[in-house]
Structure 1
Amino acid sequence: MTFSKRAWEIHSRSSWGAGESLLCVSIVPAKRENVGRVEETDTVELEGGDQEIDSQLADVSQAVWPWLQGGTRLTPWRRAFEPAALAPTAISTTPLPMADVEKKVIVTYADESQVWPVISDELLSRLPLRNLVWNSPLGSARANSSNATRNIPVLDIELKKFSPDMFPKAMPGSLYQSPYFLHLYLVNCDENDQYRATVKRQIQDWVNVVNNKKNQEWMIVYISSPESRAKSGLLKLGGNVYDKIKSDFNVRRESRCVKLKLSNDDGRNSESWNEFVAAMKEAILASFSQQIIQYEEDTRRLDSQRLMPGWNYCQYFVMKEGLSFAFELMGLYEEALVQYDELEAAFFQTLTEQGAPWFQKFGGTAAGDDSENILDLKRKPYRDMILQNTITIFDFRVYLFARQCFLLYTQNAPVDICQRAKLFITAFARNLHENETSLVPYFCESWVYSACMAVTRHCEELVAVSTSFTPQVISLYEGAKADLLQYARMQLDTLGVGSNLFPYSIHASLATDRVRKDGTPADGVQWAITNAELKAGLASVAAFDDLYLRITFKTLRSLECSMRARTMYLMKGDLAFLH
């Protein structure tokens, strides 16, 4: 039976000695099934000279035909190439330190009436708030949508007892440090005389403190319990006190008061609580809108002064980042990401127009910069350095990218993370090469490798704990991850040549390319870089081969899952050449 050439592809041909060659034949059935599963299978090896190999193809057809008829999927790499140590390992579930301590919207409560213990359990049982609908006062932040309505499925809030000295000093971006969105004053008073004598003055003092702070929303909660009504004996009196509170403190047509009427009847009690929670939602959204408008006005004003003397990009960044923090607090991650994208565009525009006078130097000279986890927002006090105008271009670009990735992570978007990472790492690598005279030898290769591996590791953890990704998304993700792994593998080529661990003719040009601009050869790779994995891999030929194979097989698995056959076979050719 004739063997169909469409059912197999030559994996690689390389010289193993005079007159000898080795072909690894990849068996790929026309019907692709179980694409997402990586299986260990056999590879047909043909040895001998070119003419001898041609004569063996007939035997190959007889050998592989049963497999082709059965539709078995064969993974075409040599078992001998894959050490036992390179078997797939369990993915770590330890989260990467991407973000600072989680922040929540804070709602404060003042409790002169000592009624908080009565309502606290019931209120906490109704948190987090759900199904909030926010109408943006700015219109849509999305370029592809004109809808200004945002749905917030879940909003975590933190309840904190009010204190007059709890407000921090005003500063750009202070919303992130003190996210007070709503202040509640709890009242439980059924006597008109008591209200006039003490309660009214207490409420007014509290309102004055809150109103002295910028963009603070407040609400008075009148609590009427069965016990207080029984004690007073006159339900009408309680109602009169509430009416007086509304008359004294409602501002224009804005309702600043809500009544929480507790009852022993579960139905009535639930209805009263629902009204109170709805009022809380409305007040929090109103406060959010005020803060968004304020941030937008401030950032627009600063942006309009861009070409004026004394304008500072770092100050503009902090202000606009405060807007992003506000969106993030409310769970509006897409809108938060838009702010960072606009900041990135503004950075490059400013760099073109005015250079970078706000950055002291390029950077990249701190210990461990070449091996840093670029998604770790805690590695350096980035925001403090921006506030103090002491941040370097290197640290700023890393921080901006890490914030973008964090917001994509919150949206379960590993494909977008990998795709953005590829664009950022490849572009920033060019900047590193342009500034390599101020960096240690092979800094760029070490940084690129470390960055690619950090992003892929983080995305693997995200995918491992999620069950919502479709096969199509997984395929796109594996393809994007393969690009990063392949880029990391390219750095091993350069490092291997520089360390004389990879002296093959196919990479001869790399040895010429990796000469420092000052004319000094970039040797001593192992001592120049700080990435522990790379240092161990460059310790010997065996260690380098082990690392190189590990990255290659990891890349091959991703290429197979994404059905990128051509790239996969080219990479397997490199494996055959290595051996």
Structure 2
Amino acid sequence: AGDQNLFTSLYPTLSQQLPREPMEWRRSYGRAPKMIHLESNFVQFKEELLPKEGNKALLTFPFLHIYWTECCDTEVYKTTVKDDITKWQNVLKAHNSVDWLIVVVESDAKKKNKTNILPRTSIVDKIRNDFCNKQSDRCVVLSDPLKDSSRSQESWNAFLTKLRTLLLMSFTKNLGKFEDDMRTLREKRTEAGWSFCEYFMVQEELAFVFEMLQQFEDALVQYDELDALFSQYVVNFGAGDGANWLTFFCQPVRSWNGLILRKPIDMEKRELIQNQEATLLDLRSYLFSRQCTLLIFLQRPWEVSQRALELLHNCVQELKLLEVSVPPGALDCWVFLSCLEVLQRIEGCCDRAQIDANVSHTVGLWSYATEKLKSLGYLCGLASEKGPNSEDLNRTVDLLAGLGAERPETANASQSPYKKLKEALSSVEAFEKHYLDLSHATIEMYTNIGRIRSAKLVGKDLAEFYMRKKSPQKAEVYLQGALKTYLAEGWALLVTHTRKQLAECQKHLGQIENYLQTSSLLAGDNHLTEDERKSFCQEILDFANQQAEKQGQKVILPMHSFAQLKTLHFDPPNAVVHVGGKLSIEVTLLSQMPIPVQVDQIAIHVHFSIEKNSYRKTAEWLTKHKTSNGVISFPNEVAGFPLSRNNLPALELYEMYERSPSDNSLNTAGIICKNVHMLLRRQESSSSLDMPSGLTLEDGAHVLKCNNLILEPGVNKITFNTQ
């Protein structure tokens, strides 16, 4: 207010000098003080700009009102300036505005022109007497502000210090009131009619203010609190405790154009939230885009990738919890586009060396994008041998329609996520190229950072893709690699699943011996259904029958996949016989086949030791092996697993409870494994994978045989006699 021309002449210097010196900002509730630079937006005084009662806008709030005058004439002061200041102050009082400052500008040039004027201090004194009462510091003098002199500079420094102090005092006071009002509003969230969207806009206003002050950490906290609040409501909804306002976010998904991270503020989505028209994906996209902007200001791009991965997985779950209608493939599109958008945003603010050094933070997004592109390819018939049919093509058209038009900010980028997805879904060849590029890049990244298990898992997906494309020779490499790792680490279910895939692959490749070996292991695998085991067992029996009829090739399969040797029972118990005496050996075999198997012959080879002191040696051996009544027991083995896995420590499982600090009620319960680092440690040596090769023993004098037997599933006892 006051002399507009005077202010205009001083504004360039004022706006330039005000932010130069930092001020210590002390806040309430024991929060640590911070040094901040104040930048102010000066606007001409108008009564309609003063905040109305209940107005929660903090960004447009007038924190300090300044009246400018260079009046040096008592008469002029009495006739015009005093009345003008009085009117100005009355308006401020009417709006409860108590933060104001009167600036009297002193100029030597005007002094020389007027010889009959009173000393300058008299005008200042009059203003202080008339308006300042006990607040004499609310009137300051600025001497020769446009001159380049030490006096002028001192005057500027004193004025700027006062201005910064008053601005900060007013800002802190009004900010505290705003935060109190915001807390009050949040505490009303259990009341009917409370709106999350309205509350969102209030707390975001606070975030904007912190961002304006370059207090990015404080701004980020506001969005994190909003994120946590919304997440809790969604979880409660899933547990049957739904808030009415959540129904706004349960609208069917009609657009899936991914995250937008190239704008500081996505005004379009913000407007949807403000008007309570946003879908769940709109809210999540906007919220994350703001968090992303602040994290990049804080130079924490790797946290962006970590949070993005959590966000994408959480959104998938939240849509399920809220039972939102989502067209098939829409979510895959949204996740794929979002992954690439985050990766490109990070690439835009980091150099190549930084990106390569932090692959561990971004590889999860590469992997997730690969997984979603694979799902889309399968859904749209792009991964099959024959290619898409008419239904697949219609689905592709619908999915592309849900992407909408490409955003202006990426329209000129040749490798935008939008263009990549559109191209990948355009043809079988394009899909294969994009999918293979992504898969190989992901495998390479996982391998480079030592996450071999994850690399093998992506390799398994690739193998599945190659099998669909009828290229089993390419699939076999990935399946064998995965199987080797799973065997080394004892992942029984993964071994079973991979062996099934490998069996199919070997069958297509015509690798008869390998296929039968894999089938024998699967036939004895308890992780498969009874029918599956029977079918694999039948494959072996069918082959055996064919070869018997044709007198074809012989295939030698290891015994451990068919049956396990459980016990040997000698009679006599010490297994010592005289020449011409009789030795009986009862063998207990555990057949792992799911059906009875007709066996032409079972033979065991016996080594006789003919020595004078054989009684003593045999007794020593039997004592050492702790036989009981001539029975020797053999340890249990899992078919197809290396023995080294048996040396692993046992699981150390403990119950875990978390209780609420306020009322000691149970919040969460779970089980934790304390020695997981021992159990999940990778086996570096591959020697443990090498299964002992089967020995084919020739017929000899000491071969005991039993002919034409049927091995029933489970325990079988077979007796061999010799003389």
- Answer whether TM exceeds 0.5 for this pair: yes
> Structure 1 residue aligned with 2:221, among 338, 354, 357?
338
Task: After TM superposition, give the deviation of residue 464 of structure 1 in Å.
Answer: 4.7
> Structure 2 residue aligned with 1:249, among 128, 131, 145?
131
Moved more, 495-504 or 186-195: 495-504
Are 2:122 and 1:240 equivalent residues in the alignment? yes
Task: After TM superposition, give the deviation of residue 289 of structure 1 in Å.
Answer: 0.7
The corresponding residue for 2:652 is none
What percent of counterpart residues are identical?
A: 28
The corresponding residue for 2:421 is 534
> Structure 1 residue aligned with 2:319, among 414, 429, 432?
432
Are 2:434 and 1:547 equivalent residues in the alignment? yes
The corresponding residue for 1:481 is 362
Question: How far apart, CA to CA, are the structure 1 residues paired with 2:281 and 2:358?
Answer: 28
The corresponding residue for 2:152 is 269
Question: How far apart, CA to CA, are the structure 1 residues paired with 2:6 and 2:295?
Answer: 42
The corresponding residue for 1:490 is 371
> Structure 1 residue aligned with 2:34, among 150, 154, 157?
150
Question: How far apart, CA to CA, are the structure 2 residues paired with 1:314 and 1:214?
Answer: 29
Deviations 1:149-170 (A, max 9, x none): 0122x44433333333334656
- Aligned counterparts, 1:54-453, within 5 A: 110-112=1-3, 114-126=5-17, 128-140=19-31, 147=32, 149-152=33-36, 154-167=37-50, 173-176=56-59, 178-213=60-95, 217-233=99-115, 237-250=119-132, 252-253=134-135, 255-262=137-144, 264=147, 266-351=149-234, 352=236, 354-362=241-249, 365=252, 368-371=255-258, 373=260, 381-433=268-320, 438-453=325-340
Local SS of the residue matching 1:158: coil
Question: How far apart, CA to CA, are the structure 2 residues paired with 1:390 and 1:549?
Answer: 39
Are 2:447 and 1:566 equivalent residues in the alignment? no
Structure 1 residues 219 and 431, CA gap change in structure 2 (3 angstroms): same
Task: After TM superposition, give the deviation of residue 343 of structure 1 in Å.
Answer: 2.0
Task: After TM superposition, give the deviation of residue 225 of structure 1 in Å.
Answer: 1.5
Task: After TM superposition, give the deviation of residue 241 of structure 1 in Å.
Answer: 0.8
The answer (yes or no) to whether the contact 2:264–2:293 under 8 Å persists in 1 is no
Question: How far apart, CA to CA, are the structure 1 residues paired with 2:383 and 2:232?
Answer: 42
The corresponding residue for 2:657 is none
Question: How far apart, CA to CA, are the structure 2 residues paired with 1:402 and 1:428?
Answer: 14
Structure 1 residues 248 and 420, CA gap change in structure 2 (3 angstroms): farther
Structure 1 residues 480 and 523, CA gap change in structure 2 (3 angstroms): farther
Deviations 1:450-498 (A, max 9, x none): 1111112122212259xxxxx7x75674322222122111101211222
Deviations 1:91-119 (A, max 9, x none): xxxxxxxxxxxxxxxxxxx2426312432
Task: After TM superposition, give the deviation of residue 559 of structure 1 in Å.
Answer: 5.6
Structure with max Cα Rg = 2
Local SS of the residue matching 1:175: coil
The corresponding residue for 1:70 is none
Q: Aligned letter for 2:303?
A: D
Question: How far apart, CA to CA, are the structure 2 residues paired with 1:356 and 1:474?
Answer: 42
Task: After TM superposition, give the deviation of residue 446 of structure 1 in Å.
Answer: 0.5
TM-score scaled by structure 1? 0.67
Question: How far apart, CA to CA, are the structure 1 residues paired with 2:184 and 2:94?
Answer: 23
- Please report the RMSD computed on the Cα atoms of aligned residues, expressed in angstroms: 3.4
Q: Aligned letter for 2:399?
A: I
- Give 5+ residue unaligned stretches, structure 2: 386-390, 404-417, 467-473, 475-723
The answer (yes or no) to whether the contact 1:327–1:333 under 8 Å persists in 2 is yes
Task: After TM superposition, give the deviation of residue 193 of structure 1 in Å.
Answer: 2.4
The answer (yes or no) to whether the contact 2:64–2:167 under 8 Å persists in 1 is yes
Deviations 1:13-38 (A, max 9, x none): xxxxxxxxxxxxxxxxxxxxxxxxxx
- Give 5+ residue unaligned stretches, structure 1: 1-109, 141-146, 466-470, 505-520
Task: After TM superposition, give the deviation of residue 557 of structure 1 in Å.
Answer: 7.5
Question: How far apart, CA to CA, are the structure 1 residues paired with 2:258 and 2:207?
Answer: 28
The corresponding residue for 2:350 is 463
Q: Name segments (4+ residues, structure 1) moved above 6 Å.
A: none
Question: How far apart, CA to CA, are the structure 2 residues paired with 1:222 and 1:371?
Answer: 56
Question: How far apart, CA to CA, are the structure 1 residues paired with 2:222 and 2:177?
Answer: 15
Aligned length: 438
Structure 1 residues 446 and 225, CA gap change in structure 2 (3 angstroms): same
Moved more, 120-129 or 410-419: 120-129
